Amino acid sequence: MWQRQQTLYLLIAAVLVAVMCFGTAYTVANPDGMLSVSYWQLQKPYFGVLLGILAALVLLALVTFKSLILQMRLSSLSGIIALGMQIWLAWMYFSFKGPVFSLTAILPLGICVFCFLAARGCFQDQLMVESAYRVREIRKRNRKK
């Protein structure tokens, strides 16, 4: 399990999702001079739900290492969700002028990259398995002759 590259990519993506879950989203200066900090899961309820779905998909893709096709599909889906979250955050950044976003605002882009790298690794492993199966079938046919 750990010797495959897509498992390591998914582990890095899971760590980034965990950092994003417990990190701050942005800070806003109130009129009285106090700073208020917003957390990702508390900022908007549906953003927290989306973050939970992303975490579940990445962890599920991490543990389904026996089924390469399912792992490839789950990691692709989590990459698409992370890309959507990054687009949403970019829209929020350019729409609202008050908040100062933290460094964790670019983490969905990293999650997206690592999930797509994991999907590519799953695809390459699946191609290798299929080619080995073809070679095995050809050898079996040649022995029967």
The predicted pLDDT at position 16 comes to 95
Q: For the chain, list residues with pLDDT below 50.
A: none
The predicted pLDDT at position 109 comes to 94
Report the side by side order of strands in the sheet with 35-39.
Answer: 35-39, 24-29, 100-101
Q: Count CB-CB contacts under 10 A for residue 59.
A: 18
Side chain identity, residue 117: L
The predicted pLDDT at position 138 comes to 82
Q: Are 116 and 75 in contact (CB under 8 A)?
A: yes
The predicted pLDDT at position 41 comes to 59
Nearest to 65 by CA among 141, 128, 126: 126
CA distances from 101 to 43, 46, 47, 106 (A): 12, 19, 15, 9
Q: Which domains does the chain have, with CATH numbers?
A: 5-144 (1.20.140)
Report pLDDT digits (tens) over 57-92.
999 999 998 888 999 999 999 999 999 999 988 888
The predicted pLDDT at position 21 comes to 84
Look up the pTM and report it: 0.83
The predicted pLDDT at position 124 comes to 92
Q: Are 15 and 21 in contact (CB under 8 A)?
A: no
